[in-house]
Structure 1
Amino acid sequence: MAFSLNETTLLSAVKSGSILSIVNSTLAPGYGIYYATVQKDSTSIVGSKVFSPTSWISVEKVADASIVNSPIEQGSYSSYNKVKRPPGVRAVFTLEGLTGFSGAIPNVTNLSLLSRTNLIATLDDMIASANTYDIETPDTVYTGYDLERYDFKVDAKSGVTMLTVEASFQAVLTEAEVTLSSDQQGAITDKNQNGPGTLKKVPGQAASKAVTLDSVKAAWNSGTTSLSSSLSTTATYVENGLQSAVDTVNTAYTKATDSASMQLKDGITTLAKVIT
């Protein structure tokens, strides 16, 4: 429960003469929007209230998930068949100004210094920034939400001094930050040893070692051996290829020579028969 000093309701309760009415008018359900996280260049303070409207009209929580719509094997339905979407909160609240001629003048009769112009500017800053907010209600506190959309209206039904705002907040889903690093003993640790998702040291993993002269010599000898082996293998392949090409040419030449000799022999034999 929050303490409220709305002059209009308080005077109405005093005039009624009922003690219970006075208590109910000064004690109001706890509604509020507070800074949960702020950007580094922000002047806002975590835990402070963003603004205090004149009254809260409604607060609605929206949460849904996407479930697989294709047939699945009986008994195989599990968490990976269901994707949770970020929940949202829709809040409707009002701020009463002092006059309809200017929104920059706050209604000091309600013991408030927040003007309609300042409220709109604050909402614009919330849209532009990457801060998160905690939304307090009498039932629960919705933590880690950011403003994604808002609209406001001023109409004849509520009065030209009454600003009605509808704000839509969406939850910012976060995971534990884990940054891996390895020491010279081959152990993996995370950056935040005390935070959620902390990894224990696991020996035997890949580690970075200091460079020494011996390691450089070993790398150079290994490279020299590899290069020598590669050159030797390449030379062998070239030699074998040339020998194969020579053998192929010799075979083709021998076959061509034999064929020409046979043709010449047959021609001479035929010519001799004709002459005789």
Structure 2
Amino acid sequence: MSFAPVSTLVTRLEQARPLAAQVGRWGLYDEQGRQAAVFDAFFGISLKAEAKVTGSPVERGGFASYNKVNAPTRLQVTLGRTGRASVRAAILDRLEELKVGTELISVITPDRVLDGYSLAGFDYTYQAADGVDRLVVTLALEEVRQVDAEYSDQQLPRAAVKHPADASTVDAGKQQGRKPGPSTLTRIRKAVGGGDGTA
């Protein structure tokens, strides 16, 4: 589960939208700190965080961190928007863009900031009880776990690797080419026929 420090993200969002990104308010924001989609009501949020534990027997005292792997956190956020048909259509278009794209979303709740989520899907309803101009949308968001790649130019000697092919290459300078020997077919013909291998 990845929670950005509230102060860091809120500061970033406040720089982009001074009034909209206050702790204690609900909101969906993109990576630039702008509202990802504008809604006027948040009905609920459901968070599922779990880890996968090995199902194989483990020697007593041998349970280690590699036997338990955290799965990406999943959110379901239900929100609504009242307005003209063009406003509601624009929201649905924006959600479709977020679903097919790679843009990450931050969800601000009164308790914490949930950073680095991708929209995996959404569904929406219109119900008579809510009014015909009330769009109610449930978003399915999944955490995107990102790591920083680290590269090294450290040499791996043959003695330090299991397979010799995994060792670092060694620059041996210019090498004198060797004259190729007879082909395999020529050697077989010589062995079988006793001849010089020419056909």
TM norm. shorter chain > 0.5: yes
Counterparts of residues 127-276 of structure 1 (less than 5 Å):
127-178=99-150, 190=151, 199=152, 201-202=153-154, 206=168, 215=174, 218-220=175-177, 223-224=178-179, 227=181
Report the counterpart of residue 92 of structure 2 in structure 1.
120
Give the deviation of 1:166 after TM superposition: 0.6
1:116 is paired with a residue of what secondary structure?
helix
Q: Does 1:33 align with 2:28?
A: yes
Q: Does 1:93 align with 2:74?
A: no
Q: Distance in 2 between matches of 1:124 and 1:157?
A: 26
Change (3 A) 1:120 1:90: same
Over the residues paired in the alignment, what is the CA RMSD in angstroms? 3.4
Q: Distance in 2 between matches of 1:125 and 1:210?
A: 54
Structure 1: stretches of 5+ with no match in the other structure: 5-26, 37-45, 105-114, 179-189, 191-198, 243-276
Higher Cα Rg, which structure: 1
Report the counterpart of residue 40 of structure 2 in structure 1.
54
- Report the residue type matching 1:97 in the other structure: G
Q: Distance in 2 between matches of 1:90 and 1:72?
A: 35
1:164 is paired with a residue of what secondary structure?
strand
Identity %, equivalent residues:
22
- Report the residue type matching 1:129 in the other structure: G
* Alignment TM-score, normalising by the size of structure 1: 0.51
Q: Distance in 2 between matches of 1:156 and 1:59?
A: 23
Change (3 A) 1:71 1:123: same
Q: Distance in 1 between matches of 2:23 and 2:50?
A: 31
Report the counterpart of residue 66 of structure 1 in structure 2.
52
Contact 2:38–2:91 (Cα < 8 Å) also in 1: no
Contact 2:24–2:111 (Cα < 8 Å) also in 1: no
Change (3 A) 1:227 1:123: same
Q: Distance in 2 between matches of 1:169 and 1:3?
A: 25
Aligned residue pair count? 164
Q: Distance in 1 between matches of 2:67 and 2:131?
A: 50
Q: Distance in 2 between matches of 1:141 and 1:29?
A: 10
By percentage of residues, which structure has more helix?
Answer: 1
Higher RCO (C-alpha 8 Å, min separation 6)? 2
Give the deviation of 1:123 after TM superposition: 0.7
1:33 is paired with a residue of what secondary structure?
strand
Give the deviation of 1:28 after TM superposition: 9.0
Change (3 A) 1:85 1:204: closer
Contact 1:3–1:28 (Cα < 8 Å) also in 2: no
- Report the residue type matching 2:60 in the other structure: Q
* Alignment TM-score, normalising by the size of structure 2: 0.68
Contact 2:23–2:108 (Cα < 8 Å) also in 1: no
Change (3 A) 1:28 1:210: closer
- Report the residue type matching 1:52 in the other structure: V
Q: Distance in 2 between matches of 1:121 and 1:168?
A: 16
